[in-house]
Structure 1
Amino acid sequence: MSKAAAGLAPFQSGEEAVDWIVKLVPFGIKPGLNRMELLMEKLDHPERRLKFIHVAGTNGKGSTCAYLSRVIHECGYDVGMFTSPYLERYTNRISLNGQDIEENHLINLVNQLKPIVEEIAETELGSPTMFEVSTVLAILYFARVAFPDFVVWETGLGGRLDSTNIVTPIVSVITNIGHDHMDILGDTLEQIAAEKAGIIKAGVPVITAVEQPELLAIIEQAAKSKQTTLYSLGRQFRYEPLSYELDKQSFHFSGPFRELKGVPVALNGEHQLKNAAVAIMTLEVLRQYYALILDDEHLYKGLSETKWPGRLELVSRSPRILLDGAHNPEGAETLAAALKHIYRYKKLHFMMGMLSTKNHTGYLRHILPLADRLILTEPNFHKKADASKLAEAAHKVIRELGLKVEVLIEPDWKQALETLKSGTEQDDLAVVSGTLYLISDVRSWVYYQTDSEKGW
């Protein structure tokens, strides 16, 4: 351990600062805002100086944040963004106008934070977690260094008790609700919906793409109790798909304030049209409530130029390798739809690695009917699912659905990637999917031949 990490001297490098934060991972996930409230109090409430766009949901949060950030910046504003998990480096999660937090700011802010974190760790509240410290670091960067006009603020897990919920935003977004983090958020979708609805604040408008009637009712009740306006997909706003092409889609948008024709997006999959529609409705609310200057030219350009790594991302052309961070049944369903409707291939070779807490059987039911070969591996992460147990689940689904799929087990993900590449011919398509911790490793290895950093 470095002298700085041992508390003997300030951090001198970004590596030392990140190392100290990552060493908080063993404190795990601690739902609740008590430590965050105390941190904000000791820092003189920097969160009160910022205009947050708070985004929650099971899937689509990251893409929606990317759309919002790109368009708002295209309109001439400075925009901060906080997302998780990151794909390559810790600093990816905190950005200004698409650029990661600079190392000197990271070092200075972590040196300010460390004694306060250690002071709280000695109280009955216990040590702040890695994600809590990261959240506070982002707030400090935006409030004391970057001073953005808006901050796109992605929820980490759930909503009500998530550390990001320490802020009062100017608009709240709930993309959708599905089966994820059920070990923490609850056993039913209704319980998960209630947790995500916890980001709704008094008088702060809400946009949602939640469509299940019983779950939408929970969102509606939360909005009503907070006396705020809810803009719901299929009711207050709609989208109509217009064209589907690889790397180029378009749709019509209609909302309570105006209609937009032929809206272009570059991200693949019909689910990205829905995410873009949610982003547009959010931008329309900002235009109406907060006088955001939103010209159609900037809106269309921003949406058409938005990129989001690790989501239907082609990282190799020979052989064709597609990365997608689908890691729950709903994500697998949207991935399967994209593979059926957008991509062309002779055979589909699928490599997956999961965390042990996910619904593997529900995921496999969507993917296995499309796959010719399934390679099961393990992410380099402490909560990884055993590849042999994934194989048991896969064989069960194969028998249940009467499929013919070759199943291979290779726990070492680098070797699994070589096996995937060696068996994929020119007219085939290879897909790597599952936990973003695997996607992160594979992406870094393909592009840079280096291992990725690890964190939430």
Structure 2
Amino acid sequence: MNVLEGETRAPLRSYDEAVEWINALIPFGIRPGLDRIHAMMDRLGNPHRRLKFIHVAGTNGKGSSCAFLTGALRESGYAVGTYTSPYITKFTNRFQYNGEDIPESVLLELSNRLYPLVQEIAATELGSPTMFEVSTALAILYYAEVCYPDVVVWETGLGGRMDVTNIVTPVVSLITNVGYDHTDILGDTLEKIAAEKAGIIKPGVPVISCVEQPEVIRIMKNTAAENKSALYLLGEQFTYERGGIHENEQSLLFKGPFREIGLDIGLQGEHQCKNASGAIMVLEVLRQYMAFVLDDEDVKRGFRNTAWAGRMELVSKDPRIVLDGAHNPEGAETLSKSIPEVYRYRKLNLMMGMLANKHHHGYFKHILPIVDTLILTEPDFRRKMDAGALLSLVQELKESIAKPELKVIVEPDWKTALEILKSQTEAEDLGVVSGTLYLISDVRAALLHQTDSEKGW
């Protein structure tokens, strides 16, 4: 089908123009609410209603959980769409079908189809759709009218209840965890944030969650009960036992309401055992109640082969450099536990940069105790946090929690900071780059010599 049929001239002439147009909608910001996405879908005939979704929300672990689900379902013979954000390399990364990015030509065609709708809605009292709303509409069109996957693994952008991805009614929902992130939008208490995440729970749709805090568990249970949705909770309906830990993989034994199954996973850290167990519980619900055919060996192979860029990813061996997009307190806590557990090293050298819209005290409280050399830098992004401001936070905390011999280097230019990290990291040491994924994206492209990196939300 030619999505431009009947138009004399497309307003967008190239892939680059299409991406530039979508990204130009960023100034409209994050505007929680579903009115604009509903308006777009109504004009398109509500194509999302023809798709099966697995809706994934949570503070951390969404991307890894989506990767586990995608890998296991693909190995089991299913055609899988995967919609995630942010992206590490190219804008097309966020729209995948069977592990392949949307073709640039298709993205251009679909953008041109959406272009007049966006202009039309922008002229109403609703105002212009945002970048993420247009991206979400594009994903729905791609899956519903171009590639027709059996199931779409569907990651929320921010929160849940008012996130535009919440326009769909999934076959099963997954809420990985709840922590302090985006507090300016989601609320400043765990209860408020949990209520937003729990907003993806739909009437009668089973939900799996790995949340652990008592006040968050209470909200999940209450919301599930209100919606008459079966809730499968880590520690209650399912558990896991962690097995061997090696530099390239770890093992776990999943124990669920229907059976037990052992897995090896390539992603590192105990948090990935939690993510994997949540994903397995999702698959168990699909297998038990929705007639998905999931052979154990296929599922195991899918989990073993799952990789996720920028999450405890060893990208250089000489010197050893690990990338991890930890950018909030929970992520930093996980990273500070996982690094010493997985790697042996003499000194740990950490390079990090952040966005200015975050509260970073909690990050530093968890990460500083394990660091020997700290290199503070700035991502190449408009909302970057000044490296000097990060230094002020470090100085506040340094005496109480850091190693006495902690060395701190401030280098705003991330490329120069990376060269410093490489020069400071000797054979017995470990270098880590952490913080916003905007920084991780650039550093990853530089270390892997990728020339087509675009990065973005």
TM range (shorter): over 0.9
Q: Do the aligned partners of 1:190 and 1:218 also contact (CA within 8 Å) in 2?
A: yes
Residues 124-166 of structure 1, C-alpha deviation per residue, up to 9 Å, x if partnerless? Answer: 1110000000000000000000100000000000000001001
Q: Does 1:379 align with 2:413?
A: no
Q: Do the aligned partners of 2:10 and 2:112 also contact (CA within 8 Å) in 1?
A: no
Which of structure 1's runs of 4+ aligned residues deviate more than 6 A? none
**Alpha-carbon distance between aligned partners in 1 of 2:435 and 2:13, rounded to the nearest angstrom:** 36
**Alpha-carbon distance between aligned partners in 1 of 2:27 and 2:338, rounded to the nearest angstrom:** 37
**Alpha-carbon distance between aligned partners in 2 of 1:85 and 1:106, rounded to the nearest angstrom:** 17
User: What is aligned with 1:140?
Assistant: 141
Residues 388-446 of structure 1, C-alpha deviation per residue, up to 9 Å, x if partnerless? Answer: 01011111111122632111111111111011111111111000000011001111111
- Partner amino acid for 1:106? L
Q: Does 1:331 align with 2:331?
A: yes
Deviation at 1:455, TM superposition (A): 2.6
Q: Does 1:275 align with 2:275?
A: yes
Q: Do the aligned partners of 1:312 and 1:324 also contact (CA within 8 Å) in 2?
A: yes
What SS is found at the alignment partner of 1:448?
Answer: coil
Residues 321-352 of structure 1, C-alpha deviation per residue, up to 9 Å, x if partnerless? Answer: 10000000100011011112111111100000
**Alpha-carbon distance between aligned partners in 1 of 2:225 and 2:259, rounded to the nearest angstrom:** 25
Q: Which runs of 5+ in 1 are unaligned?
A: 1-6
**Alpha-carbon distance between aligned partners in 2 of 1:140 and 1:433, rounded to the nearest angstrom:** 35
- The TM-score with structure 1 as length reference comes to 0.97
User: What is aligned with 2:228?
Assistant: 227
Q: Do the aligned partners of 1:445 and 1:451 also contact (CA within 8 Å) in 2?
A: no
Deviation at 1:9, TM superposition (A): 3.8
Deviation at 1:289, TM superposition (A): 1.7
Residues 58-110 of structure 1, C-alpha deviation per residue, up to 9 Å, x if partnerless? Answer: 00000000000010000001000000000010000000010000112111111
User: What is aligned with 1:366?
Assistant: 366
User: What is aligned with 1:3?
Assistant: none
- Partner amino acid for 1:413? W
What does residue range 259-298 of structure 1 map to in structure 2 within 5 Å?
259-261=260-262, 263-298=263-298
What does residue range 12-411 of structure 1 map to in structure 2 within 5 Å?
12-261=13-262, 263-401=263-401, 403-404=403-404, 405-411=406-412
Q: Do the aligned partners of 1:348 and 1:430 also contact (CA within 8 Å) in 2?
A: yes
**Alpha-carbon distance between aligned partners in 1 of 2:196 and 2:454, rounded to the nearest angstrom:** 30
- Partner amino acid for 2:202? K
**Alpha-carbon distance between aligned partners in 2 of 1:186 and 1:87, rounded to the nearest angstrom:** 27
Deviation at 1:288, TM superposition (A): 1.4
**Alpha-carbon distance between aligned partners in 1 of 2:27 and 2:455, rounded to the nearest angstrom:** 13
**Alpha-carbon distance between aligned partners in 2 of 1:424 and 1:430, rounded to the nearest angstrom:** 6
Q: Do the aligned partners of 1:158 and 1:196 also contact (CA within 8 Å) in 2?
A: yes
**Alpha-carbon distance between aligned partners in 2 of 1:337 and 1:400, rounded to the nearest angstrom:** 19
What SS is found at the alignment partner of 2:448?
Answer: helix
Residues 151-210 of structure 1, C-alpha deviation per residue, up to 9 Å, x if partnerless? Answer: 000000000000100100000010000010001100111100000000000000000000
Residues 348-395 of structure 1, C-alpha deviation per residue, up to 9 Å, x if partnerless? Answer: 000000111222111111111111100000111121111001011111
What SS is found at the alignment partner of 1:59?
Answer: coil
Deviation at 1:454, TM superposition (A): 3.8
**Alpha-carbon distance between aligned partners in 1 of 2:10 and 2:149, rounded to the nearest angstrom:** 31
> Superposition RMSD on alpha carbons, in Å?
1.2
What SS is found at the alignment partner of 1:334?
Answer: helix
**Alpha-carbon distance between aligned partners in 1 of 2:247 and 2:165, rounded to the nearest angstrom:** 35
Deviation at 1:11, TM superposition (A): 2.2
**Alpha-carbon distance between aligned partners in 2 of 1:287 and 1:451, rounded to the nearest angstrom:** 39
Q: Do the aligned partners of 1:120 and 1:126 also contact (CA within 8 Å) in 2?
A: yes
Of stretches 162-171 and 394-403 in structure 1, the one that deviates more from structure 2 is 394-403
What SS is found at the alignment partner of 1:351?
Answer: strand
- Partner amino acid for 2:336? A
**Alpha-carbon distance between aligned partners in 2 of 1:89 and 1:290, rounded to the nearest angstrom:** 34
**Alpha-carbon distance between aligned partners in 1 of 2:164 and 2:328, rounded to the nearest angstrom:** 23
Residues 5-30 of structure 1, C-alpha deviation per residue, up to 9 Å, x if partnerless? Answer: xx974323211111110111111111
Q: Does 1:452 align with 2:453?
A: yes
Q: Do the aligned partners of 1:22 and 1:455 also contact (CA within 8 Å) in 2?
A: no
Q: Do the aligned partners of 2:368 and 2:401 also contact (CA within 8 Å) in 1?
A: no
**Alpha-carbon distance between aligned partners in 1 of 2:112 and 2:25, rounded to the nearest angstrom:** 15
Deviation at 1:301, TM superposition (A): 0.4
Q: Do the aligned partners of 2:63 and 2:84 also contact (CA within 8 Å) in 1?
A: yes
Q: Do the aligned partners of 2:371 and 2:402 also contact (CA within 8 Å) in 1?
A: no
Aligned sequence identity (%): 61
Of stretches 364-373 and 394-403 in structure 1, the one that deviates more from structure 2 is 394-403
Q: Structure 1 449/292 Cα, relative in aligned 2: closer, same or farther at 3 Å?
A: closer
Q: Which runs of 5+ in 2 are unaligned?
A: 1-7
**Alpha-carbon distance between aligned partners in 2 of 1:208 and 1:449, rounded to the nearest angstrom:** 36
What SS is found at the alignment partner of 1:152?
Answer: strand
Q: Structure 1 100/449 Cα, relative in aligned 2: closer, same or farther at 3 Å?
A: closer
- The TM-score with structure 2 as length reference comes to 0.97
**Alpha-carbon distance between aligned partners in 2 of 1:443 and 1:454, rounded to the nearest angstrom:** 10
Q: Do the aligned partners of 2:190 and 2:215 also contact (CA within 8 Å) in 1?
A: no
**Alpha-carbon distance between aligned partners in 1 of 2:102 and 2:402, rounded to the nearest angstrom:** 51
What SS is found at the alignment partner of 1:286?
Answer: helix
What SS is found at the alignment partner of 1:224?
Answer: helix
Q: Do the aligned partners of 2:368 and 2:402 also contact (CA within 8 Å) in 1?
A: no
